[in-house]
Structure 1
Amino acid sequence: MNNRLLSGLIGLTAGIAATTGAAVALWPKPTPPADLRPLEINPDTPAVRSGNLTFDTIGLRCGIITVVGTHAEHWAKGRLCRVRITVTSQDSVFGEIDNNLHRLTLDNGRTLPLDREATQIKRQPLETEVAAHGQITYDLWFDLPKNTRPTNLHVRANEEEPPATIPLPERDWTEGSA
């Protein structure tokens, strides 16, 4: 084999390797789906930002008739809805989060505050903080009147920031406990 041909093959092989390496490094990687709980769906909604916090819904389940914890039981007045969210700080300081500022909008236009009893029974935070450039995941609980569906979740970083709206998928929910 002559030297020119050998040099050409080596160059071609190096070029293919470099191109393949660049493609692997730059190709978008699919985000793995969150581990869903029984009867929970992935809302598949875009993350939204309020102030220096980004909110992302990663799980949704409604139609829950009761919640049971180690210290109490709570029956819904209508049907409970659990929204699992991940909050990410985009700032270099801790972010304070008051979950009482979030609201769930229903298909009849009514907005609901957080259900404090279900939240406390399931040991989820009413108020919390997220570390600088950190992330925290937890559940928001709402008690929906019967025959209503959630349409949007409005989240706020704090009282000074305007709320951001996360549209929720329409769905018929089976009943059950959590």
Structure 2
Amino acid sequence: MDHGNMHDMPTPSISSPSMMNNGSMNGGGGHHKMMMMHMTFFWGKNTEVLFSGWPGTSSGMYALCLIFVFFLAVITEWLAHSSLLRGTTGDSANPAAGLVQTAVYTLRTGLAYLVMLAVMSFNAGVFLAALAGHAIGFMLFGSRTFRSSSGDQKTNGPPLSGCAC
């Protein structure tokens, strides 16, 4: 395409009567409705998060959505501060350890993107659930709040609980 002649191209028009009447973009024959997407934060349970039609209009499903986003953020923080991601100095040349690190990093990045996409629903409740999940996850796994006072768990071996954090 010659970009020098772009001013000669007609501009798209969406003012046809069929589109004005039923809100569809397929020439008036379909029954598709254009969905209004919020571009500012809003409060309310009627939203779509991550999947089409989810959580719907049910208060229970909205609460489940908030819990899901919260735990996605907590798991993201856990993986970010996990010893699986950092590895140990003794197995740095081990290819299997490198593959495990890569898999954990990929999983953490994918979960972080899911949290980001959920927040892009512009629902204030989802945003607060994601923030709370990241805050609680960091407090549990990243800060010194729950570490033993004798030193950092990373240098003293695995924790007694069996968690590799």
| TM-score normalised to structure 2 length | 0.20
Structure that is richer in helix per residue? 2
| TM-score normalised to structure 1 length | 0.19
Structure that is richer in strand per residue? 1
